[in-house]
Amino acid sequence: MIVDVHVHVSALSPENGLMSRKLIRSLPFRFIKWRLGLSGEDARTEAQLRRVLFTTLENTPELDAAVMLAFDAVHDRAGNLDLANTHLYTRNDYVISLATQHRKILFGASIHPYRKDAVQELERCVKAGAVLLKWLPITQGMNPADDACIPFYEALAHHKLPLLCHTGGEKSLPNIAPDTPSPRLLLPALERGVTVIAAHCGTRSTFTEQDYVRDFMAMCHEHEHFYGDTSALNLPTRSHAFKMVLGDKVVRSKLVHGSDWPIPVIPPIGTIGLARSAECFMEGNWLRRDILIKQCMDFDEAYWHRAGRVLRLTGHSQRQLQNLHTAGIEAG
């Protein structure tokens, strides 16, 4: 089973989530909107995006499934919702409903660990078929090394739900906790028995910023249940990591496939050459272009199937998801 562990969806109607005006009007988002053919800033835009997403999945035969990521709102250390600092919010229930609408969509939950009901919400999401839990600390405002996360880690370990956590810099979304890019902060999660996937392998998001690929690689050697996804590595600031992670036997055995759709995918000419880059560039579907580029590299067969194994999709979760699909079809 070939799975992309890192696909985003945003929502614009209050029942499904929100995007702040600041974010919608930012240059990267205006470019993505234009590229996907979206117009407006309301529920109709949300429906357009849904259709684009479904078509994109249909037009990517290489993938059996993609994990669609919810994105929780910012909460302060006392557990209060902080809407003023929330620029992107995609509710778990919205992604649960998307998973009932398309056979290739898996539910990636997102829960802020400082929420008073964090463990309760986790249990609800697990029952609804969540295959992983997603955080972006820099933008959501949690610190993975904070003791306040420990009860949540214990619950993740108990439910065997992997944590997919952004590592390295972030430039497409506002930074409210800029001191949290290091993969080293995830140590307390690993110590409590959580399987951790470091998104982007600790890569920088601008050329001037600190890069954490070496820390990421060291942690792959040190911790059995520590992995990294290859999402957004097809960006010029992050693509230097391909050579590094593929050149280390242990690290390459820890890589899982992810795209970070709808973030742009730019073929790394320095890695795959001009001719193959031009060929990949001809594929207009970014979800598929990301795969075509990685197929030109030294990824082995195990890489493509690893996400399914790490997310335990051959057993429990997949069965739950099928039940959920059936429940959705019956309800709808």
Q: Which is nearer to Zn ion, 111 or 157 (CB)?
A: 111
Minimum distance from residue 164 beta carbon to Zn ion (Å): 9
Among residues 98 and 155, whose Cβ is nearest to Zn ion?
A: 98
Amino acid (one-letter) located at 254: K
Min dist. Cβ of residue 205 to Zn ion (A): 11
**Which residues in this chain contact Zn ion in the complex, by CB under 5 A?**
260
Q: What is the smallest separation between the CB atom of 172 and Zn ion, expressed in angstroms?
A: 8
Q: Which residues contact 155 (CB under 8 A, 6 or more apart)?
A: 118, 119, 122, 123
Are 139 and 173 spatial neighbours (Cβ–Cβ below 8 Å)?
A: yes
When the beta carbons of 72 and 260 are compared against Zn ion, the nearer one is 260
Looking at beta carbons only, is 8 or 254 nearer to Zn ion?
8
Nearest-approach distance from CB 53 to Zn ion, in angstroms: 15
Q: Angle 284-289-293 (CA atoms, 0-180°, nearest 5)?
A: 145
Spatial separation of the C-alpha atoms in residues 299 and 252, rounded to whole Å: 8
Give CA–CA dist 182/203, Å, rounded: 10
Rounded distance between C-alpha atoms, residue 142 and residue 189, angstroms: 13
How far is the CA of 64 from the CAs of 271, 294, 331, in angstroms? 27, 17, 25
CA 35 from chain center: how many Å? 20
Q: Which residues pair with 227 in a beta bridge?
A: 197
Number of residue whose CB is nearest Zn ion: 260
Rounded to a whole number of angstroms, the minimum distance from the CB of residue 134 to Zn ion is 8
Distance between CA 37 and CA 59 in Å, rounded?
Answer: 16
CB contact at 8 A, 323 and 100:
no
Pick the closer one to Zn ion by CB: 65 or 138: 138
Quote the least distance from Cβ 231 to Zn ion, whole Å: 6
Q: Minimum Å distance from CB 159 to Zn ion?
A: 23
Task: Work out the number of other CB atoms within 10 angstroms of the CB of residue 319.
Answer: 12
Nearer to Zn ion among residue 100 and residue 237 (C-beta): 237
**Strand blocks (E) in 216-263:** 226-229, 255-256
Closest to Zn ion by CB, 148 or 176:
176
The H or E element that residue 194 is part of is none
